[in-house]
Structure 1
């Protein structure tokens, strides 16, 4: 009985070994196709160029992490998810970077995405859809993430998280103690300095909603004092 059991174990081990050998050597499991999903800015051919080295490689030996790290270096891509589809296909689903604003420093355009990573001189961005920031410090050219500038990061983060940034066309930070903004409805917002940015952002959001829901005719909103924000009506009977 014991010998019979040993024979069965050996036979199963040999079978597993044979299957593993065939999986590792048969052309049937060589990568022959690369598919790309969810790309809008980056061309399929460009993403495939990152992965072409894997063509002909055995799908069981293929290192997904290596390709993912390679693709993630692209300034237009936030993340890439790599999936093996047996027997011979690699599927790449990309999440492209979501740019939220840009600066002009000299001849350079510096873009900030939703992770606050900084990339220089992207050439495939529709500027009309993101906020232009005027008067940015040239030191931004030396960092890779806006989080390195704690005060400015906090300022932009609060505008972004309160969904104010998407309502703006321009932010002027030439004087960091007297920051101004312009909304898509051409309302000029006086923000003051960068202090209390969370409170000020919350005030701006509430007042912009009020302007929209009540159809208030105004072109000026002042939030310099986070405790006493106010707007000035076009037909100025009173301020609010």
Structure 2
């Protein structure tokens, strides 16, 4: 009985070994196809080029992390999810970077994405559709992530999280103590300095929503004092 059990164990071990050998050597499991999903800016062929080195490689030996690191270096890609589809396909689902604003230094344009990474001259981005920052400090062009500038990052992050950035065309920071903004419906917003940016952003968000829902005719919104924000209607009436 004991000998019979040993024979069974050995047979199973040999079978497992044979299956593992076949999986590692058969052409059936060689990568032959690379598919790409969710791309809008980056071409399929460009993403496939990152992965072409893996064609012919055994799918069980394929290193997903290595390919992911290569793709994530692309300035237009935020992240890539890589999936093995047996027996011979690699599926790449990309999440492209979302640019939220840009600024200019000399002839160069610097784009800031939703992770606050700063990249120079993205030629595939339609910058007319995102917010322009006028008067940005030249030092911003020398850093790779806006988080290095704590105060300015906090300011932009609050505008982004309160969904204000998407309603703007321009932010003027020439005078950092007297920041102004212009909305898509041409309302001028006086923000003041960078202090209390969370409270000010919250005020702006609420007031812009009220302007929209109540169809208020206004040309100016002042939030310099976070405790007393007010708007000026077209008939010059001030409302707190």
> Could you state the TM-score of these two structures normalised by the residue count of structure 2?
0.98
Look up the SS of the partner of 1:20 in the other structure: helix
Instruction: Specify the SS of the correspondent of 1:181.
Output: strand
Change (3 A) 1:116 1:184: same
Between the aligned partners of 1:46 and 1:78, the Cα distance in structure 2 is: 15
1:89 and 1:110 map into 2 onto residues whose CA distance is 37
Q: Aligned equivalents of 2:144 and 2:46: distance in 1?
A: 23
* Most deviating of 187-196 and 109-118: 109-118
Aligned-pair CA distance for 1:129: 1.9
Q: Deviations over 1:136-183 (max 9, x none)?
A: 111112211111100000000000000001000000001110100000
Alpha-carbon deviation of 1:128? 2.5
The unaligned stretches of length 5 or more in structure 1 are none
- CA shift digits 1:21-51 (9 cap, x unpaired): 1100111100000000000000000000000
User: Which deviates more from structure 2 when the two are superposed, residues 131-140 or residues 55-64?
Assistant: 131-140
8 Å Cα contact 2:136-2:173 kept in structure 1: yes
Summarize deviations over 1:36-78 as a string: whole Å, max 9, x none: 0000000000000000000000000000000001000001000
Kindly indicate whether the alpha-carbon contact (under 8 Å) linking 2:111 and 2:118 is maintained by their aligned counterparts in 1.
yes
Report the CA distance between 1:104 and its aligned residue.
0.6
Deviation at 1:237, TM superposition (A): 3.7
- TM-align CA RMSD: 0.8
Distance between the aligned counterparts of 1:106 and 1:238, measured in 2? 40
Equivalent in the alignment of 2:18: 18
* Cα 1:173/1:35, change in 2 over 3 Å: same
Moved more, 152-161 or 110-119: 110-119
Instruction: Report what 2:121 is aligned to.
Output: 121
Q: Provide the rounded CA distance (Å) in 2 between the counterparts of 1:173 and 1:236.
A: 26
Aligned to 2:52: 52
Instruction: Provide TM-score, normalisation by structure 1.
Output: 0.98
SS in 1 for 2:56: coil
Whole-Å separation in 2 of the counterparts to 1:162 and 1:155: 11
Q: CA deviation at 1:105?
A: 1.1
Residue 171 (structure 1) aligned with residue 165 (structure 2):
no
